[in-house]
Amino acid sequence: MRTARRSGDKPANPVPVSPAGKAHGKTPSGTITEQLPVAEAFETKDRKSKKPDKGPAAGKAADESAKPGAGGRAFWSGSITIGLVNVPVRLQSMVKDTSFSFRLLHRTDGQPLRYDRVCSREGRVIPWTETVKGYEIRKGEFLVFEPDELKAVMPESDRKIRISKFVHYLSLDPMYFENSYVLVPDRSEEAYNLLLTAISEMNLAATGTITLRTKEHPVVVHAYRGGLVLTTLRYVDEVTPPDAMEAFAGLPVPKETELALAKRIIAELTGDFSLSDFHDRYREAIEALIEKKLAGEKIVYEEPHPEEAKELMQALKETLATLSAK
């Protein structure tokens, strides 16, 4: 993606695109300047280097990942090790973030803002060569660590996914799942498919560890739609369950009449789950907003009217009546 323009170029206000593909607008002084479209001041994270698509075509980006051969580029290569067995694999992303990422601009000239390393004491920009990492032990007091000191405790990356145990996949708590990646055979199709077939027929998943960048992660390797998927897991102390929180202590016992109505509402809404029933309405609204801005339409914001608060029993009855009427 190109930004509206690099710092130091001619100033330009983000305005709709002209038929020639360039935008024209007046600077505060009245001078006419050329600039890039307003849409290029922000992007979806999965569509870098592309302009927003128009109309229904904007939804095609989400469908591209479902096509054969689609997927992220491999960012790690190594092997799955089970005892003396090694299965060479490559790790690549299978999940993409389609949310919008906005750039923060200077309202006056429409240019991106830059974040510098400013010393809080001296008030000047510090070059990278003068920076070190620190850990705050008390307010405003830091322990300084040199690069070699951090290297000494960094987990060794030996390019191996070390499998230590096989478990039933459904026995794993999904609250500890973090990020998922697809494992691609690296000239190891025979050994790869042997492992895939074995764990598929036994309904098991492999657990172990991998080192990515500077952190060792617990992982689970499991079969998913014709391939092996690696999911990193959070450590036990990284998740706080609700029953350990004070807010959930002493919750009141539901009244029988309210509980009966609640169960009837749930029964009315019970059915098969399909993730395709859900859409990112905010992303779709932003895409529509881009088209309106590019077309020069005026955007009018209407203050939403707050819903009237109802008592629990009344809300339950009205909800059930609405569902029954469908």
pTM to 2 decimals? Answer: 0.67
Residues 91 and 192 in one domain: yes
Name the residue among 300, 288, 294, 286 with its Cα closest to residue 101. Answer: 286
- For 130-147, the DSSP string reads G--EEEEEETTEEEEE-H
Span 239-264, pLDDT tens digits: 999 999 999 998 999 999 999 999 99
Higher pLDDT, 306 or 7: 306
Helix or strand holding residue 45 (H, E): none
For residue 62, being part of any structural domain is answered with no
Higher pLDDT, 298 or 64: 298
Higher pLDDT, 1 or 228: 228
**Average confidence score pLDDT of the chain:** 80
Domain boundary, last residue among 213, 242, 271: 242
Instruction: Output the pLDDT for position 28.
Output: 37
207 and 218 Cβ atoms separated by less than 8 Å: yes
Task: Report the share of the chain in percent with pLDDT over 70.
Answer: 77
Domain boundary, last residue among 242, 276, 299: 242
Residues 203 and 91 in one domain: yes
Instruction: Output the pLDDT for position 61.
Output: 38
Residues 222 and 168: their CA atoms lie apart, in Å, by: 10
Instruction: Output the pLDDT for position 302.
Output: 83
Cα distances (Å, whole numbers) of residue 212 to 15, 109, 287: 43, 41, 35
- For 196-261, the DSSP string reads HHHHHHHT-EEEEEEEETTEEEEEEEEEETTEEEEEEE--GGG---GGGSGGGTTPPPPPHHHHHH
Span 1-41, pLDDT tens digits: 333 333 334 444 443 333 333 333 333 333 333 333 333 44
Residues 86 and 93: their CA atoms lie apart, in Å, by: 22
Please state, as a whole number, how many other Cβ atoms lie within 10 Å of the Cβ of residue 5: 20
Span 92-141, pLDDT tens digits: 998 888 888 889 999 999 999 988 999 999 999 999 999 999 999 999 89
Please state, as a whole number, how many other Cβ atoms lie within 10 Å of the Cβ of residue 230: 23
For residue 111, being part of any structural domain is answered with no
Number of domains into which the chain is organized: 2
Instruction: Output the pLDDT for position 309.
Output: 77
Name the residue among 63, 102, 52 with its Cα closest to residue 288. Answer: 52
Residues 217 and 183 in one domain: yes
Residues 83 and 178 in one domain: yes
Span 181-217, pLDDT tens digits: 999 999 999 999 999 999 999 999 999 999 988 889 9
